Structure 1
Amino acid sequence: MFGISGAEAIVLIVVALLVIGPERLPEYAQKLKDLVKAARRYASGAKDDLRETLGPEVTDVDWRRLDPRQYDPRTIVREALAEVDQEDAEEKRRREREEREAAREARKAEREAGGSGGGSTAATQTTSLVRLAPGQRAPFDSEAT
């Protein structure tokens, strides 16, 4: 408070009491009480004027959430990197999904081309496809899965 320590404040109060004296002390105590009340009324009025001027939106704001002292730069960087990692993972999943869909479409086109009897170049280029007779089951490859 004004750069005065506790001990200095006590010394100032004692000196003021000695200077004022016991006969004028009640009068000055009353003036101090009136001054404190006036300061409170002034602060309350200023607060009400500010609320009225800024509108009802200001009362809904959580000012503690906006306090810059609560932000830790390490946390901000960590969260930003986590968001980037999450976006990269989502992008990778989307690309993989598109690649699977494209491969599925290619296999479907090969089956349609192979089933019609006309030898398509796409069907002849892939040697890993095995044509099965109706009712025949595909062999199980335990190392492939």
Structure 2
Amino acid sequence: MGLLVVLLFGPDKLPEIIQNVVGFLRKVREFSDSAKQEVRSELGPQFKDFEFEDLHPKTFIRKHVLDGEGLGIDEIRGALDPRAELSEVADAVRGAARAEENTAPTTGGRTPLSKEAATGPDTYTAFDPDAT
């Protein structure tokens, strides 16, 4: 970049250009500072510690949410963590399974799969050969 400036303007005009750029940057900084002071004075004494950098979204979140008196990062993580809800659901399912085990017929904790155990030896079931 510096080489390009030297080639465009020449080494004899380079000090003058640097002075002009530095003067322009000073005027912009002074204008910005005076605008900030004017806004602060118009807002009143309750905003004397107001910083314009705090209006940036990342800075605002960092200052007011993560480090502030409101919610902290641990509370946000806890609210978004599904493990507590999943454990409640798992406990409810386990409780329902235990209740079903208690009401199921006593066959050693297993469901009978044979026809005799399901229907009994002296009951007759209809057989439809066309259905199979």
Band the TM-score falls in, shorter-chain normalisation: 0.3 to 0.5
Larger Rg: 1
The TM-score with structure 1 as length reference comes to 0.38
The TM-score with structure 2 as length reference comes to 0.41
